[in-house]
Amino acid sequence: MKKIIKSVAMVAPLLFIIGCGDTLSQPSNETLKGGELMVEFSSELMKKTLIDAKVADENTTIFGYKAFKIPYTTTDEKGNEVKASGLFVIPTGLPAAVQPFGLSMVSDDHGTIFANREAPSVIADTNGAPDGSAIILTALGGFATLQPDYIGFGDSSEHYHPFVLKESLANATVDFIKTVKIFANENNITLNNQLFLTGYSEGGYAAMATLKKIEEESTGLTVTMAAPMAGPYALKTMADGVLSQPKLGVPSFMANVGYAYAQANDEALNSIINEPYASKLPTLFNGDLNRTQIDPQLTLDTTGDTGLFSSSFVSDYFTNDTNWFKEAVTTNNLHTWAPETSVKLVHCQGDDVIPYGISQLTAGTMTAMGASSVLVVPVELALGLDYNVTHGTCGTLAYKVTTGIFAQVRQVTIGY
């Protein structure tokens, strides 16, 4: 036995080399106050990326791209505080002579999305690479781009998205602009006082709602110019048109309007939407699916037994002036006011989803109500195209036109 004990004692020291080790330290990202760095591409890398993508050549001036996710607090339709998020993108590698002027801001409200993975800050987090309109506005245009995720996406993905509801969209945008200004100040990012507003489709609507809120309320913000693009500003007119047609072009759009408006107005969804769709919408709009996944699960029929909207609702909408949905879309119209800010309504004449006439109606109504600087900018004309462009392909072209308009203003007012 003594021998065994002695033997064990000989090898026991082996066991004492066992201990606890360290785990890998966190990535050495730039530390920021009030936000998180999501993407950083140098101007050289950005240029190589855009040349590889055949959207630029060696002679194109391209800036670096640095994107931050910024959390902030905003307010929904019912006045509840919501923890939201957005993406703030700045250009890097600007000439030294330009830097003292600071960056001009473009608040860029994104278009209609359904899946949370399509939100700006989520895309940046998922891809780690530049994406979408911020490439045009920031890497090519040299603007600081502000993209709120909106309520319902990003950090507030548990909340329903208030689709084309002006109050929530304007709140989400204005609160994000204010937060970004604080973020920039605390992180030595120099901004100037220029603030441009834009956005495409739902983003165009949101940009117009934002302008209205800034002009009518004490937000402390001043808008240099607004260029909403292809937005459904005349919402009541849009609703009248859609509900009077036998077929829906994009059923998810109107289904989402019905879903969001029912939630915001505490109305039962099945009071306007037929089964089985009324029961399906909460799942379809839970943020997991995108438009191409949702549309096939809906009907193209506007109303009737096989339609999306119940016949009784559609009938009441057209005959009853106190129909709650009619009142709600009328309340959310954004064309019946007179902005003091210069407004360019950028829109493709061939738009098959939001008719070009909506921008013409908006400009006409606003001018009639006293606005002095509201103009429609047809994208095809601005770019010298000899063909009409539809809603789906117009976005990139519209951003190109809008970026050019904003750059002209900056050149005239600031000098670069």
Partner 1 sequence: MKIITLSIITSSLVMAGAYKVPEQSINSMALGAAYVAHTEGADTAYYNPANMAFMEDKQFAEVGLTWAHLPRNEFVGNQAYSATEVYAANNKSEIENLQLPFMHYVANPIGDFRWGTSLTIPGGLTKRWESGHQKVSAEEFTLKVIEVNPSASYKVSDQFAVGGGLRFIYSEGVVNSDGGVIKPLKREMEGSTIEFGYNLALTYKPTADINMAATYRSKIDLGEEGEANLYISGVGKQFDASVKVPLPAALNLAVSKTWEDKYTVEVNYERTYWSAYKELDFNYGTPIQAALYDSFDASKPKNWNDTDTFRVGITAKVNDTVTVMAGYAKDETPVDKKYVSYELPDSDANIYSVGVRVKANENLSWGVAYLHDAKDALDITASDANVNGIIGKFSEGGADLLTVGMAYTF
Question: Of residues 20, 53, 268, 412, which one binds partner 1 by CB under 8 A?
Answer: 20
Q: Whole-number minimum distance, CB 19 to partner 1, in Å?
A: 4
H-helix segments, 138-271: 166-186, 202-216, 235-244, 251-264
C-alpha to C-alpha distance for 284 and 273, rounded to whole angstroms = 14
# residues contacting partner 1 (CB under 8 A): 30
Mark residues 30-49: x for contact with partner 1 by CB under 8 A, - for none. -------xxxxxx--x----
Between 289 and 354, whose beta carbon lies closer to partner 1?
289
54 contributes a contact to partner 1 by CB under 8 A: no
Question: Of residues 27, 79, 100, 296, which one binds partner 1 by CB under 8 A?
Answer: 27
75, containing H or E segment: strand 64-75
Between 155 and 295, whose beta carbon lies closer to partner 1?
155
Between 21 and 384, whose beta carbon lies closer to partner 1?
21
CA angle (406, 153, 241) in 5-degree steps = 70
DSSP string, 222-246: --SEEEEES---SHHHHHHHHHHSS
196 contributes a contact to partner 1 by CB under 8 A: no
Between 11 and 96, whose beta carbon lies closer to partner 1?
11
For the beta carbon of residue 228, count every other beta carbon within 10 angstroms.
Answer: 31
Between 7 and 315, whose beta carbon lies closer to partner 1?
7
Q: Whole-number minimum distance, CB 121 to partner 1, in Å?
A: 13
| Cβ-Cβ contacts under 8 Å for 413 (sequence gap 6 or more) | 194, 224
Between 71 and 102, whose beta carbon lies closer to partner 1?
71
17 contributes a contact to partner 1 by CB under 8 A: yes
Binders in 117-136 for partner 1, by CB under 8 A: 125-129
Q: Specify the stretch interacting with partner 1 by CB under 8 A; choose among 16-24, 322-330, 355-363, 407-415.
A: 16-24
Q: Specify the stretch interacting with partner 1 by CB under 8 A; choose among 13-21, 176-184, 337-345, 379-387.
A: 13-21
β-pair type (36-41, 144-148): unpaired
Between 2 and 79, whose beta carbon lies closer to partner 1?
2
Neighbour-count burial for 5-35, b at 16+ CB within 10 Å, e otherwise: eeeeeeeeeeeeeeeeeeeeeeeeeeeeebb
Binders in 283-302 for partner 1, by CB under 8 A: none
Of 226, 169, 249, nearest to 345 by C-alpha is 226
Q: Specify the stretch interacting with partner 1 by CB under 8 A; choose among 4-12, 268-276, 338-346, 355-363.
A: 4-12
Between 17 and 268, whose beta carbon lies closer to partner 1?
17
28 contributes a contact to partner 1 by CB under 8 A: yes
C-alpha to C-alpha distance for 152 and 170, rounded to whole angstroms = 14
Q: Whole-number minimum distance, CB 2 to partner 1, in Å?
A: 10
52 contributes a contact to partner 1 by CB under 8 A: no
Residue with tokens 């904003």: 406
| Cβ-Cβ contacts under 8 Å for 69 (sequence gap 6 or more) | 35, 36, 38, 85, 86, 87, 88, 121, 124, 125, 154
For the beta carbon of residue 400, count every other beta carbon within 10 angstroms.
Answer: 18
User: Can you give the binding site for partner 1, defined by CB under 8 A?
Assistant: 3-4, 6-7, 10-11, 14, 17-21, 23-24, 26-29, 37-42, 45, 125-129
